[in-house]
Amino acid sequence: MENLARGTADGSLRGRTVVVTGGTRGVGAGIARAFADAGAHVTACARRPPERPLDGVGFTPLDLRDPPAVRAFFDALPRLDVLVNNAGGTPHRRLAEADAERHARVIELNLLTPLTASLAAYAHLRRARGSVVMIGSVSGGRPSPGSAAYGAAKAGLESLARSMAAEWAPEVRVNTLVVGMVRTELAHLHYGGRDGVDAVSRTVPLGRLATPSDVGAAALFLASDAAAYVSGASLLVHGGGERPAFLDAATAGGPSDQED
């Protein structure tokens, strides 16, 4: 912890230039705020502007599914030190309820757009010896009924980040935040109202959902000098994970029922 505190407190991100895709609400806004609070020059890009401007965070309208527009955006930047690929998401939709083309759009948003942005940013990042932070999901490492295409894309994103880290070293570091359940302004759409959110929170070992600022703090760490020797890594930000279902289903008692 001493190294982490020294790395973030010494201003290692002060004056750095950071782009956060999808950085206008929810997790993305939490990440953008964290970098702005650390003294970085932050730009959030998304199709729509934030409902309320974020202090210290600029905004540029950008459709990340438009490769020529993405390349033009990054080409126009004078410098870039950190790219946070946060844009993504999916509606709840079982596989048989939609055609392949609709699922392909989910994969495009969550896997191909981070690749597009990273390639467009590469020259800047190489010159600055910067870093890429991918925002992954626990859905990429477990079954995700209702969001299968999203989970597949996030699994691919982790793999992409590891390969990118190997190919772009030593000039550019690439890491993934594997994010669990987050309490955002849209949490009720996924978990129900307050009762639903509270019930889901009780399934997390730490007893609560993450906040956007929790994810922002982790992204800040991976981009900072405190993580100078961290690349190709996946950092779990999930409050300890999910309680295994078999523990509630099992009828056996405690350790006394087992013999060596």
pLDDT 10s digits, 3-62? 333 344 446 899 999 999 999 999 999 999 999 999 999 999 999 999 888 999 999 999
- Cβ contact 137:150 at 8 Å: yes
Summarised one tens digit per residue, pLDDT across range 58-97 is 999 999 999 999 999 999 999 999 999 999 999 999 999 9
pLDDT of amino acid 253: 58
pLDDT of amino acid 180: 85
Q: Which CATH number fits domain 2-178+218-239: 3.40.50.300, 3.40.50.2000, 3.40.50.720, 2.130.10.10?
A: 3.40.50.720
Whether the per-residue pLDDT at 188 is higher than 70: the answer is no
DSSP one-letter string for the chain: -HHHHHHHHTTTTTT-EEEEETTTSHHHHHHHHHHHHTT-EEEEEESS--SSPPTTEEEEE--TT-HHHHHHHHHT-S--SEEEE---------GGGS-HHHHHHHHIIIIIHHHHHHHHHHHHHHHHT-EEEEEEEGGGGS--TT-HHHHHHHHHHHHHHHHHHHHHTTT-EEEEEEE--B--TTHHHHH-SHHHHHHHHTTSTTSS-B-HHHHHHHHHHHHSGGGTT--S-EEEESTT----HHHHH----SGGG---
The amino acid occupying position 13 is L
Whether the per-residue pLDDT at 168 is higher than 70: the answer is yes
How far apart are alpha carbons 64 and 172 in whole angstroms?
Answer: 21
Whether the per-residue pLDDT at 154 is higher than 60: the answer is yes
Q: What is the dihedral of CA 205, 207, 212, 214, to 10 degrees?
A: -60
- Cβ contact 39:14 at 8 Å: yes
pLDDT of amino acid 252: 62
Summarised one tens digit per residue, pLDDT across range 204-251 is 888 888 799 999 999 999 999 999 999 999 999 998 888 777 877 887
pLDDT of amino acid 194: 76
CB count in 10 Å sphere of residue 62: 22
Structure tokens at 80: 């870039």
